[in-house]
Structure 1
């Protein structure tokens, strides 16, 4: 549907009822300056009066008092009739006239902060339910449906532009194009609001008593997957193109300001689709480690990953893993980047870097690399993974599986040494983030070779060895899934590995364990696998 821009409509009466009072007084002042009658409710009316504005209470308009602790105040024919009647329609005009219903030409509403309430630790169930807005969404929908005659304003960020448009028109009036834009935003707002409520309530198995707190997720059993998958995220950024120039693309964000979608870009060219995908891959892998870690990614696979005492040491080790592949890569770091690390990283051509912070001195070192994208990221909670298939979507829990040294099962006659064990844990964490079939060779907190995305596990073992530029002798190897036959293990041993970590669970486990004993390999089973497609 296209909307013409020619018709403007005057605003004589506005109803204001907002939770977020940012910019409210300035906007209401502008309306009042154009002679608009202001009607309001509760705390909004109080804020306007304190600012010296003349305001009519909603009860004066409806002739009915607010009641039931504010649950009923705008749910009234004199509100919705004033919003919904079609101006110029003879029957509508006669109906509202006979009932004394006055036109309402603008509604300024934002809704109860349900999501903020739901996010409060230990929030009482009854308090959560009370923060489900009823009157607000009803007014938003009524006004948006009748956008031909009514302007619906749901975002404080729109106030300055609306003030400017009204001043340009020398009076309180808005174009049809503006009213249409506001109506579309309004319906998106109510859709997102209803989705947030439905998703929150869907995660609560049984309704607690009103005074009982909703147990934090960390203290309760994992919630069931949703009975209905609701995804409602606003457009955050239009991208130049997708994976390839002939594909359109955009970034949508949950609005939390967390993770890669909510990151702050400090410098550099516009982020591309592929930049964002790679940044997410290296950032998520960097979060696997408690010590300083640097991950260099190419096409979502780590070509270099390392830990160290400092970011600089970790970076130097990661780069040494595969300096050829690192050229033009994307880097994820789990610590603030200081000047010393920045000076070294700046020597390499890098597309983008994600870190929790860049010191002012580090930013100075990077400033000369004008195309380099620096992105500050705040960690986001792990959420279910959604993938598209023709005709639908797949959803699964995030892969949060981790193992400790105590949970490993030694299956060979020779147990791994303490040094091998540390390297095995490191290799296993990296392997989790490598495309299947995956083999990772590592030593002393540093990847040495990575075999990613191969159709055969033997090929993955051989390819990872072929890619290695550092000596493979004395490394350990991680396999994201079990070795189905001894041949993959034999390839790992031939490359120079002395210890192996793998899930186990193959019908040929006994044969594989026997091969490990014959080759003097220490081998441990994790009991979990990390397929990554």
Structure 2
């Protein structure tokens, strides 16, 4: 076990992010700590009037190759790796004139920031740190004798401990800092590895997969109060959404809020804001109402009409900046989260009257066609798959029935299929006039989903005082093929006149025959949209 208290006599500082550097180094110097630093860090500290030794004086080698080689030297790594109570290690230090280093302060070249900024390949390569991770790993391995700091946010707490312990760090602090250091280099390396994998895109299943992230938020609990939870942002991710969103107001987000908000924003992004306003209302990661309109208010009213009962306490996602008119209407019922690309100042003020309502501004919409990956854990491992980046607009629709669909039916079929992509399987979606009128999600059979969606459509009509179900004259989308005709016939009985589905069942001919006998128009997409 490491000794409990290690006094810090000598510190090496080499940082890319120089926030708080001078103040931190000044405090260390005031505690009697000898300072060593590199390149730009040395220049910053020297200009601030601090006494600091440049690493080149230790190594007796100048920085070379545009700074690529400066700390990769025994004079540095020997000082970090030497075990203090090992006589052979101490003899080696003495024989080679190497001084022990008790504290390492390093933050890495900004590779993730360079990637996010969309810089060129060569710029990204130049921002891959080599010496920094090597030093961090050396210091973290030898945490029995060395403290290592990789985060500016740790400066204040470290100084407090040094001041309270006569210039020493406790074993518990060194272990905590070492864990954070190894996690930081792992996250950093994963960002690089995944970037290169994306650049090459040559292996569908590379031998090694790297996952890493930085804490975005500690959460009160997970899906249930007895489950601890936290939210991590993936390094270098460019996809707009909950990871890029700025929370303007409202209480802290929960695990379920984040999961549902992600589902909502990915769903509403299927609808091009240049073509129409769109609103998706999500409950438990499933759409309970989605609609297009001339403006957000109209789209929201139509989305809400699909299932206002389920919308209570739901997530509202918009594909355009939130405006005052839509904000006034949305806040009339209890809503957990509103997410949009942006919001007007008037809309922010309206939402601000509801103190607990979270307003997230993501800064943009995710591209539904953009390639990427989704990851899900299983016992002892994780599953990786490509994102479902196909949209119905890119599919060659094949009419398989005797009756051709009308233009209105085709528009509704495409709309319904966009939504079905984001409904948990088995998924059935009824749509009419650019709005959902009934959704069946997550049932064990497609017939049950059809019945559920039809019931929702009938209930919605009853609320509106209509004699006929909203499913009357609608188009129905199924995320996968109908294995039997019964699911399709349930849709026809509910009043649907057009059907869109992938096709591909052994009984496609029977299903097509049933559609013809019911007078339905049906198209096959050839693309399944399972979502588990």
Matched, 1:184 2:179: yes
Residue number in structure 2 paired with 1:145: 141
The alpha-carbon deviation at position 128 of structure 1 amounts to: 4.7
Residue number in structure 2 paired with 1:351: 336
CA contact (8 A) 2:188 2:212 kept: no
Report the count of equivalent residues: 513
Moved more, 452-461 or 317-326: 452-461
Residue number in structure 2 paired with 1:136: 132
Matched, 1:243 2:223: yes
Moved more, 487-496 or 195-204: 195-204
The alpha-carbon deviation at position 266 of structure 1 amounts to: 2.8
1:355-370 correspondence runs (5 A): 355-370=340-355
Pairing partner for 2:442 from 453, 467, 483: 453
CA contact (8 A) 1:203 1:223 kept: no
Pairing partner for 2:31 from 30, 34, 38: 34
Q: State the TM-score, normalized to the length of structure 1.
A: 0.89
Q: Cα gap change, 1:92/1:455 in structure 2, threshold over 3 Å: closer, same or farther?
A: closer
Q: Distance in 1 between matches of 2:376 and 2:339?
A: 24
Residue number in structure 2 paired with 1:201: 196
Residue number in structure 2 paired with 1:96: 93
Q: Distance in 1 between matches of 2:300 and 2:159?
A: 51
Partner SS state of residue 478, structure 1: strand
The alpha-carbon deviation at position 69 of structure 1 amounts to: 4.0
Matched, 1:298 2:278: no
Unaligned runs of 5+ residues in structure 1 are 206-220
CA contact (8 A) 1:23 1:156 kept: yes
Once the two structures are superposed, residues 292-314 of structure 1 have per-residue CA deviations (whole angstroms, 9 ceiling, x without a partner) of 21111122111111111111111
Q: Distance in 2 between matches of 1:204 and 1:305?
A: 36
Moved more, 14-23 or 374-383: 374-383
Once the two structures are superposed, residues 70-113 of structure 1 have per-residue CA deviations (whole angstroms, 9 ceiling, x without a partner) of 33322222212222223354443333223221122222212223
1:135-284 correspondence runs (5 A): 135-167=131-163, 172-205=167-200, 224-255=204-235, 256=237, 258-284=240-266
Unaligned runs of 5+ residues in structure 2 are 462-469
Residue number in structure 1 paired with 2:489: 490
Partner SS state of residue 303, structure 2: helix
Moved more, 86-95 or 302-311: 86-95
Q: Cα gap change, 1:294/1:204 in structure 2, threshold over 3 Å: closer, same or farther?
A: closer
Pairing partner for 1:415 from 399, 404, 408: 404
Residue number in structure 1 paired with 2:59: 62
CA contact (8 A) 2:395 2:525 kept: no
Matched, 1:324 2:306: no
Q: Distance in 1 between matches of 2:131 and 2:495?
A: 70
The alpha-carbon deviation at position 238 of structure 1 amounts to: 3.0
Q: Distance in 2 between matches of 1:166 and 1:244?
A: 40
Partner SS state of residue 174, structure 2: helix
Q: State the TM-score, normalized to the length of structure 2.
A: 0.89
Residue number in structure 1 paired with 2:464: none
Q: Distance in 1 between matches of 2:184 and 2:69?
A: 21
The alpha-carbon deviation at position 117 of structure 1 amounts to: 4.4
Once the two structures are superposed, residues 247-280 of structure 1 have per-residue CA deviations (whole angstroms, 9 ceiling, x without a partner) of 3322222155852244333333332222222111
Q: Distance in 1 between matches of 2:448 and 2:170?
A: 64
Q: Distance in 2 between matches of 1:517 and 1:103?
A: 84
Residue number in structure 1 paired with 2:479: 480
Moved more, 131-140 or 379-388: 379-388
The alpha-carbon deviation at position 316 of structure 1 amounts to: 0.6
Pairing partner for 2:390 from 401, 411, 415: 401
Q: Cα gap change, 1:334/1:101 in structure 2, threshold over 3 Å: closer, same or farther?
A: same
Q: Cα gap change, 1:149/1:301 in structure 2, threshold over 3 Å: closer, same or farther?
A: same
Matched, 1:106 2:88: no
CA contact (8 A) 1:281 1:300 kept: yes
Residue number in structure 2 paired with 1:212: none
Residue number in structure 1 paired with 2:325: 340
CA contact (8 A) 1:442 1:448 kept: yes
Partner SS state of residue 194, structure 2: helix
Q: Cα gap change, 1:345/1:121 in structure 2, threshold over 3 Å: closer, same or farther?
A: closer
Moved more, 81-90 or 320-329: 81-90
Residue number in structure 1 paired with 2:500: 501
Q: Distance in 2 between matches of 1:243 and 1:119?
A: 31
Pairing partner for 1:288 from 256, 260, 270: 270
Partner SS state of residue 392, structure 2: coil
Q: Distance in 2 between matches of 1:317 and 1:130?
A: 51
The alpha-carbon deviation at position 287 of structure 1 amounts to: 0.7
The alpha-carbon deviation at position 341 of structure 1 amounts to: 1.2
